[in-house]
Structure 1
Amino acid sequence: MEDTPIPYELPETENHSFFFIDQRVETSFEAKLHRHDAWELYYVVHGYGTRIAGDTLQPFSAGDVVLIPPGMFHRWIYEPDSADDDGHVRYLMSAFSHSFVERCVELFPELRNRLSGVVYPTGALRFGAESSRIIRKMLAEMNALDELGRLCEMLRLLPVVFTSTDHTPVGSPMRIERDVRRMQHICSYVMAHYMHAIPLDEIAAEMGMNRSAFCSYFKRCKGMTFSQFVTRYRLNTACELLKHSQKQVSEICFMVGFNDLPHFIRVFKKATGMSPTLYRKTTIPGRANPTGNRDMKG
């Protein structure tokens, strides 16, 4: 996959030490799969959709805070019906180079004391409820400050980001260029066809492989079977529909590609620990996600 320019340019280092943006855009205005040489701290203020981070395809919702490491391919795809009344979604994002972190640690003993011994993540992370609350508050405060004020706030933010234990992995790096292309193709195909059955022969042919070779390749790259991958994506999509729509459970069942309601309920309950109806009741706005650390990685 060739690098695709992001829809904004990171500033030149002689003018800024890091980048911060408050972006309100239409859902059709989205970056393609891309990467850049910077950490990306991304807070979804309004909207929901699907995130690709490294080898992982996963739904996201408003309130999510995710850290993408430098060099990782990623993409945020907002659903059209997740826009506000003006047709926009909104996110706050800060991007900063690793050399910026290293220079700050070298220059400020107070920061060095906080980050001493830290092992920086190589994969994408989604922060948990408490860390997300803190980071959202700090990013929102940065938005109201001038450049110098944002720099001061950034020095407070770095220890929160890199010492938090309240997070779950949401993507591992894919270091082989060919695998990046293939997995992006597979993810895009699943996103377009998950509502219907996707036979192994069909997806294998789409990838120019025979069935056996495709199954071995996919298991090696993802650590799960293609069927497990599709099921997890369908369940994650069902969770988003339960949280953000008023559709009946039976309707959602068929919308996400399950052809049997009792089977859907059994699979959903096994993955989340509760029925779809109970999940909807316990994930109303302002309540914590009941799946907790049992997040269904896709």
Structure 2
Amino acid sequence: MKKNKSENIPVDFSILNDMPTDFKIDRITREAGFQMKTSHVHPFYDITYLINGECTCFVNHSIYKLSKGDLIIIPPGDIHRSTFHGKIPVERYVLSFREEELNWIRSLIGDEIVSKSLKTGVISIPSKRRDYIEALLNKLLFESEGQDILSPAFIQAGLLELLLFMIRCQQYENNVYKEIDVDNQLMQEIATYIYEHYDKKITLDDMAERFHISRSYLSKKFKQATGFGFKEYLVNVRIKNACRLLLETNHSITDIAFECGFNDSNYFGDAFRRIKGIAPNKYRRNKEAI
């Protein structure tokens, strides 16, 4: 485990090999109104817990509103972006770990429970248990700074305790699941349509007509609700699926570009490098590093 310090700077995990350790935790403060400049898609789990403030998290095609005491789970490969609103700064813990860190807990309680519990979703931690989880997260942060040779063991034990606590909340507490943001239902329907039909021709004009709203309203409201521009989100969804095809098939890069809705392989290559920080062919060759 390498030393990590709490810091008030952007945490961008969108590029390969961006987390050199198996575990990372930060305590981060954002001013109200801050918006992430880049979307996030990374090959490890993210858990964010809000200590104070409010924010909106857009994950894949779902919009969640988070407030004090809420915890969101974001599995590897999920597109997400957060927008921080309200009138006070947002303070949160951001914890990241790789899939391999789940081997221990899977051996204890079984793969089915772990897989079911660590899907995308928001848990509202009961108020009577928030002191406990915040103390646990603070302990993980303390040990991540490399106190001594026992710190890696304390981190592993602490992560196991955190995950078991989350699963217990899901299994035995009432009303811990936060619903998707119903105030933005139309934008969620539009995002879901894009997410499921990314391989088809999709334009802003076509979507405005399909959902019976104006082009300008769709563009403005989609950005407000998700943090993504319409075209930006469409391209990110297509790149996400292109990554999957690059790793799971032997299809040519040109064929993958067309399969994912791009009508120009050169544009696909440029978009891929801009979002992933690496060319498609190099991404495919670096499969073991992902």
Q: TM-score, normalised by structure 2?
A: 0.49
More RCO (CA 8 Å, sep 6+): 2
Q: TM-score, normalised by structure 1?
A: 0.48
